[in-house]
Amino acid sequence: MKKYILLIMAICLVSFSNDNQKIKNLETKSKKYIEQGNYPKAISTLEEANQMKSAQKQSARPATSRNVSQASRFVKLAQSYINNRDYGKAFENLEKAERLIGKNQSWEAQYWSAAIDEAYGAIYKKMNITDKASEHLKLALRKYQKLISMPGGSQDAVKILIANLENEINELPLISNNSVVLNFDNQKLRDLPANLPQQVENISISSNRLRTFPQGISNFKQLKVLNLSNNSISEVKFDFGSIRQIRWLDLSNNKIKSLDESIGKASNLEYLDLSNNKLKTIPMSITNLKNLKVLNLKNNKLAFSSIKTILQSLPNTNVLHDEYLQKGEETE
């Protein structure tokens, strides 16, 4: 019993170094119980103190370890979406994982950071965007190789990953056959996925959950077709001068109340669909779009005076508008 008491006292003495007052109080009580010979009470009090210390360490540990664990789940989810060719959801989960890992330099964090790049590479490979696939797979390879020299984790498992990745990179086509079409329809997206190839010419994000016009569109200088129909966009604040090559823009079936004046800078536009929105006014800069072949303004709340100005300014454009406005034209 004396050895048992000495062991408890030793544990108490070590635990006194903790600054937390509640834990100190518990440890003090435990010592008193030992002095009183109340060993069961001493043990239970000491166990309570130890549980509190353990919880304190867990909460004090940077949310980094918890974040990495959560990030790993998002990566695994993304991999499932990739297998189902649901690339929009895959992008979404990979972006969440990236944010959680942040600048964490631990072995586990860097492992999942490499896994994220490997997943991006898999997406682009399936999309036949070879340049982007190679870029991300090589980045993942460098990260895995760096893990070999870092303490922690399973080095043998990483070596297998590296060998497989090297083979995958070597098997990529030497000549890129980049896809120019990205389709993210019906994927519950709230924004444009990140890390898309800038050479893309056609993007469709129809039937998602966008509430604002995605500003990232300005990165695609070669963009010719953009479909944002069937979302919940309420206003369009965007510099269309940044995508002057665009020829086809579908913003139908949204909740748009205002359209940016810069729409007049999209001088190459040939098709513009603004039907089924909540427009009460329309910027007259739209009359600068001399290449416009079709302009659909049906099912809005536009005054006929605006329609008439557009009709007069764009005589070569097929302007689609509500029937009741056509009747109004005959009476004027």
Expressed as residue numbers, the domain containing 97 is 64-170
At 43-77, the pLDDT tens digits run 556 556 656 655 555 444 455 678 888 888 999 89
Give the total residue count for the chain. Answer: 332
Which residues in the chain land under pLDDT 50?
1-19, 58-61, 175-177, 324-332
In a domain, 157, yes or no: yes
In a domain, 176, yes or no: no
What is the CB-side half-sphere exposure of residue 329 using CA atoms within 13 A?
A: 14
Q: CA 256 to CA 14: how far, in whole Å?
A: 66
- Do 43 and 120 belong together in one domain? no
- Do 190 and 311 belong together in one domain? yes
Angle of helix 87-101 versus helix 107-126 axis, rounded to 10: 160
- Do 159 and 185 belong together in one domain? no
- Do 245 and 152 belong together in one domain? no
What does each C-alpha distance from 248 to 93, 159, 226, 256, 274 come to in angstroms? Answer: 30, 48, 6, 18, 12
- Do 145 and 207 belong together in one domain? no
Domain end marker among 60, 87, 103: 60
Q: CA 177 to CA 17: how far, in whole Å?
A: 64
- Do 56 and 68 belong together in one domain? no
User: Model-level pTM?
Assistant: 0.55
Point out which residues pair with 182 in neighbouring strands. Answer: 203
- Do 280 and 189 belong together in one domain? yes
